[in-house]
Amino acid sequence: MTYQNYSLKQLQQIDAAHHLHPFTDHKELRETGSRIITHANGPFIYDADGTEILDGMAGLWCVNVGYGRDELAEAAYAQMKELPYYNSFFKCSTPTPVLLSKKLAELAPKHVSQVFYGSSGSEANDTALRLVRHYWALEGKPEKNRVISRKSAYHGSTIAGTSLGGMEPMHKQLGGAVPNIVHVMMPYAYELALPGESDHDFGMRAAKAVEDAILEAGADKVAAFIGEPVMGAGGVKIPPMSYWPEVERICRKYDVLLMLDEVITGYGRTGEWFAAQTFGIEPDTITTAKALTSGYQPLSALLVGDRVAKTLVEKGGEFYHGYTYSGHPVACAVALKNLEIIEKEGLVERVKNDTGPYFAQALQEQIAGHRLVGEVRSIGLMGAIEIVKDKATKERYLPSGSAAVVVRDHAIAQGLMLRATGDTMILSPPLIWTRDTIDMACERIAKALDLADADLRKR
Ligand code: PMP
C-alpha cells in the first residue's frame, strides 16, 4: 500500500489539512491529530504505531465476522472482474442483488419478502420514510403522513435521518427538519423509571407515550412509528420485554405502520438474525445495513413487509426514488458471502446460546461491582456500562459526559476500543468473539475503570 511511504506524522498532517471527519470538532481534532488505523485481523485492529487494539465496537457496529476475511475480498474481486457495476433502474437487474433478495427473504421474519437497496443506513431510512408516506398516498390517505419517533433515537445523518432521529444537537444544526415527525419518550429505565416502578410497568408506560402521540395527532394523521429495537448510538438502551409487543399492539389498533431500524441489530447482534425475532414482533419495514456486509462494502437493505409491498405492486405507479448504487453488484456479492460465513460458522446461534449469556455474566461479575459503575446491561453481543459518581443516587460527574471519556481513553490505552456516549460506555464487538475474548475485554475495562477512578478522584 502506498501509505507505507509516509510516516505517521505525515499522514496525520495530510489528514488535518484535507480530511473533514464525520461527527468531529475539527478545531479539537487539529490539536490532537487522528489515530490512524492501518490494518486489522480477526478481532484486532492495529494503528500506525503497530499497537494492537481489541475492537470492542466491531468498527462502527458492523464488522460482525471480524477482520481479514479472504473470502469476502475474493467475492469482491471476482464480481469486479465479471461485472463491477450495472444499475437496477429502467427494468434492469444484475444477478447478485437478485440472489441476495432471495436470501434476505428467507432469513427475514415470515411476512417480509421484498428488498430495496441503498449504500447506507441513512439512505435506507430515507427510503423507508418515503415508502410509508407513499404507501398511505396509494391507499388514498395522503394526510396520514405523520411519523412518531423517540427522543435520543439515531436514524442516520441525512436530513431525513436526522429529522427521524431524536438527537437535539443534530436538530439544532438542521435549519429546518422534515415536517410531521414527532418524538416521544424513550424506554430507558435506568434514568426514567419511577421509584418502585417495575421493569414491566415502565415498558408499558413508555409504550403508552406512543399511543398518546397517536391520539394527540389523530390516528388518521399518523403514518408510522419508527424505532431501533435497542437504541444503539443513544447508549445501548434495552427496552423492557413488555415494550415492543405493546407498541406493536398500539400500532395495529390505530392502523399505524411499524418501522424497525435494525441498522445495528440486524444480522445476529441480539442472538437472532433480526431483533424483531428477539422481541417477537412483526414490523412493516426493517432498515438494515452495516453487518449485512460486515462493513466490507457499503450496502443497506430496506426489508419491506408484505402489506406495504402488496399495495406498491398492486396499485402500481412509479415510486420516484432510488440511488445509483441501489443493488450494487459488488456490494451484494460481498453480502451474499458474508451471510454464508455467518451461517456456516453458526455465529447467530453462538451469540444466542453461548457468547451472549457469557458476555452478560462477565459484565455482571467483573464490571458491575466497580465504584464508578451505576449499571451494566447487555443483549446478545451489545452492552452498556453507566458511569456514575455515586452508585446509590446515580449522580453523574460534571460536566456531563466527561467521565466516560476518561474511561474510554484509558480503555484504548489498555488495548480495547470502545465508545463513550454521554456517560455511557458502549460495547458492540464482532460476533466472532469467544469467551476468552470477552474475558480479555473485561480485564481491560476493569483496569481502565481503576485508572479512571484515580484520575477522577484527583479532580
Ligand atoms: N440507523 C441506526 C440505528 C444507526 O445506528 C445508524 C448508524 N450508526 C444509521 C441508521 C445510519 O447508518 P449510516 O451511518 O450507514 O448512514
Give per-residue pLDDT as tens, 329-343.
999 999 999 999 999
% of the chain surpassing 90 pLDDT: 97
Same domain, 385 and 408: yes
Same domain, 234 and 187: yes
Cell of 281: 414482533
- How far apart CA 128 and CA 357 sit, in angstroms, is 33
Q: How far is the CA of 26 from the centre of ligand 1 (A)?
A: 22
Q: Which atom of ligand 1 is nearest to the CA of 290?
A: 15
Same domain, 171 and 271: yes
pLDDT of residue 3: 82
pLDDT at 384 over 60: yes
24 domain residue, yes or no: no
pLDDT at 133 over 60: yes
Give yes or no for residue 155 CB within 6 A of ligand 1.
yes
Q: Could you say which DSSP state residue 354 is in?
A: I
240 domain residue, yes or no: yes
pLDDT category of residue 398 using cuts at 50, 70 and 90: very high
Q: What is the mean pLDDT of residues 240-266?
A: 98
Where among 302, 323, 344 does a domain terminate?
344
Same domain, 373 and 419: yes
Q: How far is the CA of 154 from the centre of ligand 1 (A)?
A: 7
pLDDT of residue 1: 54
- How far apart CA 450 and CA 446 sit, in angstroms, is 6
Count CB-CB contacts under 10 A for residue 216: 13
Write out pLDDT tens, residues 234-248.
Answer: 999 999 999 999 999
- How far apart CA 156 and CA 60 sit, in angstroms, is 13
Same domain, 356 and 210: no
Lowest mean pLDDT among 30-34, 413-417, 426-430, 439-443: 30-34
- How far apart CA 343 and CA 40 sit, in angstroms, is 23
Q: How far is the CA of 65 from the centre of ligand 1 (A)?
A: 19
Cell of 102: 432471495
254 domain residue, yes or no: yes
- How far apart CA 168 and CA 172 sit, in angstroms, is 6
Count CB-CB contacts under 10 A for residue 457: 8
pLDDT category of residue 2 using cuts at 50, 70 and 90: low
Complex ipTM > 0.90? yes
- How far apart CA 262 and CA 441 sit, in angstroms, is 25
End-to-end CA distance of the chain: 45
Q: Which atom of ligand 1 is nearest to the CA of 60?
A: 8
Q: How far is the CA of 413 from the centre of ligand 1 (A)?
A: 27
Count CB-CB contacts under 10 A for residue 313: 10
58 domain residue, yes or no: yes
Tell me, what CATH number does 265's domain have? Answer: 3.40.640.10
pLDDT of residue 459: 83
Q: Which atom of ligand 1 is nearest to the CA of 119?
A: 15
pLDDT of residue 406: 97
Q: How far is the CA of 170 from the centre of ligand 1 (A)?
A: 14
Same domain, 144 and 100: yes
Phi, psi of 119 (to 5 degrees): -110, -10
Same domain, 101 and 124: yes
**Ligand 1 pocket mutation pick from 117, 122, 152 by most atoms within 8 angstroms of CB:** 122
pLDDT at 350 over 70: yes
- How far apart CA 330 and CA 96 sit, in angstroms, is 8
Is residue 322 packed enough to be buried (19+ CB in 10 Å), middle (13-18) or exposed (0-12)?
Answer: middle
Give yes or no for residue 122 CB within 6 A of ligand 1.
yes
Tell me, what CATH number does 426's domain have? Answer: 3.90.1150.10
Contact 406, 423 (CB under 8 A): no
Determine the residue type at 229. P
Where among 276, 311, 344 does a domain terminate?
344
pLDDT category of residue 197 using cuts at 50, 70 and 90: very high
Q: What is the mean pLDDT of residues 308-332?
A: 97
Contact 155, 321 (CB under 8 A): no
Contact 290, 264 (CB under 8 A): yes
Write out pLDDT tens, residues 137-173.
Answer: 999 999 999 999 999 999 999 999 999 999 999 999 9
Write out pLDDT tens, residues 353-364.
Answer: 999 999 999 999
Looking at the structure of the chain, the number of domains it has is 2
Where among 344, 364, 399 does a domain terminate?
344
Comparing 274 with 48, the larger pLDDT belongs to: 274
Mean model confidence pLDDT for the chain: 97
247 domain residue, yes or no: yes
Same domain, 259 and 289: yes
Q: What is the mean pLDDT of residues 63-90?
A: 98
Phi, psi of 67 (to 5 degrees): -90, 160
Expressed as residue numbers, the domain containing 141 is: 71-344
Same domain, 127 and 47: no
Cell of 36: 490512524
Q: What is the mean pLDDT of residues 212-225?
A: 98
pLDDT at 206 over 90: yes
% of the chain surpassing 70 pLDDT: 100
Q: What is the mean pLDDT of residues 383-399?
A: 97
Q: What is the mean pLDDT of residues 47-75?
A: 97
241 domain residue, yes or no: yes
Same domain, 59 and 129: no
